[in-house]
Homo-oligomer: A and B are copies of this chain.
Amino acid sequence: MLKVAMIGAGSVVFVKNLLTDILDFPELRDVTITLHDIDQERLETAGMMTRWTAAQFDANPVIEEHLDRRAALKDADFVINMVQIGMHEATLLDFEIPRKYGLKQTIADSLGIGGMFRGLRTIPFMLDLVADMRELCPDAVLLNYTNPMSILTQAVYEAYPEQKVIGLCHNVQNTAHELASYLDVPVESLSYDCAGINHMTWFLKLKIDDEDAYPRLWAAMENPEIFAKDKVRFELMRSFGRFISESSEHNAEYTPYFLKSEADIAAYDVPVDEYIRRSVRNLGRYAETRRKLLAGETFPLERSREYGSLIIHAMATGKPQLIYGNVRNDGLIDNLPNGCCVEVPVVVDKSGMRACNAGSLPPELAGYCAPHVYVQDLTVKAALNGDRDQVHRAAMLDRHATSVLSIKDIRAMVDELIEAHGDAMPAGIRGRTATTLRKSA
């Protein structure tokens, strides 16, 4: 009997979306769903939402709510991780401290200083979760949705090489929909070949049926209205020749190009501090969702673009699915370092998940991704080894931070962030004073 554990189920709307996707497959309607959250009220809300969703499908899945994570994991076939460690308060720190030093951010959850610290405070949770999985459901597949995607996925496969894990995002699918709208074609007419790292996955080939879509995309970019919808990414295409995944607001904070000056921020409509606003909105949305559930109101119900249910369906039924996932680079992209976390096509069927070889990226695209890979690697190593120096070194290699801050400010900012996050930092990193950076050979 198929059993899916949802960890961090307090992300109630996301739970509804994933469950809708799952139950939309008739073959999966006898699933068991175990919900876990550390917040009693949110867990209860998730339970209500799950039952409401099941009811819309006339399905009778077994639904369990567990404050005890281990009970939720026991004998699971799939574990879907969607936690947010530190919640709104930690997010605020990730924005406010850098901003004090002059470093502006937009989303701060994946790459860059914000991504690093979100990673540092989430890795200890990931390691605990997987330690439990090794014991309670060693054959289960971990589907990770929590950001920072590359850092967390890499932390899992470095610490537990035997754990089946894949990092899942919607950046490729969403970008495909956006491209379809810029090209004014149905998304079904598009086919594409993508590779890179999460949030920097390049549309290497893009076709409308059998026709190369790039000439039309270059032409579309000349239309100021279309350009205005995605300024950062069109500018990156102009510079590097290919369209990049995720969104303009995310990509704006990954490079030195768009946030160094007020002029650039204005020219490219960069929404500084955007994620703080979203985070506040999310709090409100949760409250409203709970209110509606209690009031017996209804919600929209349609398939999302998430890959989670496709993976579950493919493994359960054997019908192959091709998705994009984040996995260990075992020669998959041969001009990015082995061991880093890459986003490539992954085929899934009854035998599990198999990553596809993507060969070499064009050098300009590999060169665009590569600096981030080393920052991610150092962040993971810092957390796994409890090595505070590696946090500093990661920050010293971040493209955006170093284009804005002095060495002295980078150091002070990193130390202040570590201090502020306190016990949320991995052991070995927290609690020490700033007199680091003095290692011998």
Q: What is the interface of chain A, defined by CB distance below 8 A to chain B? A: 188, 191-193, 204-207, 212-215, 218, 235, 238-242, 255-257, 260-261, 263-264, 318, 320-322, 330-332, 334-335, 337-338, 345, 347, 349-352, 354-359, 363-364, 366-368, 370-371, 373-375, 377-378, 381, 389-390, 392-394, 396-397, 399, 402-404, 406-407, 437-441
Q: List 14 A-B contacts (CB under 8 A).
A: A206-B441, A238-B437, A239-B393, A255-B402, A260-B403, A261-B406, A263-B406, A322-B349, A330-B334, A330-B359, A354-B357, A364-B396, A366-B374, A403-B404
Is the Cβ of A214 less than 8 Å from the Cβ of B402?
Answer: no
Contact among B332, B349, B363, B407 with A357 in the assembled complex (CB-CB below 8 Å):
B332
Question: How far is B190's CA from A350's CA once the two chains are assembled, in angstroms?
Answer: 9
Closest to A366 in B: B374
Oligomeric state, in number of copies? Answer: 4
Closest approach, in angstroms, between the C-beta of A221 and any C-beta of chain B? 9
Residue among A188, A239, A345, A349 with max Cβ neighbours from chain B (10 Å): A239
* Interface-centre pick from A206, A257, A367 (highest chain B CB count, 10 A): A367
Knowing that A214-B440, A239-B392, A367-B374 touch, tell me 6 more A-B residue pairs with CB under 8 angstroms: A207-B350, A218-B438, A239-B407, A256-B402, A335-B338, A367-B393
Alpha-carbon gap, A370 to B193, bound state (A):
25
Q: For the complex, give the distance between the alpha carbons of A337 and B238 in Å.
A: 25
Q: Taking the nearest CB of chain B, how far is it from the CB of A161, in angstroms?
A: 11
Q: B residues within 8 A CB of A374?
A: 363-364, 366-367, 370
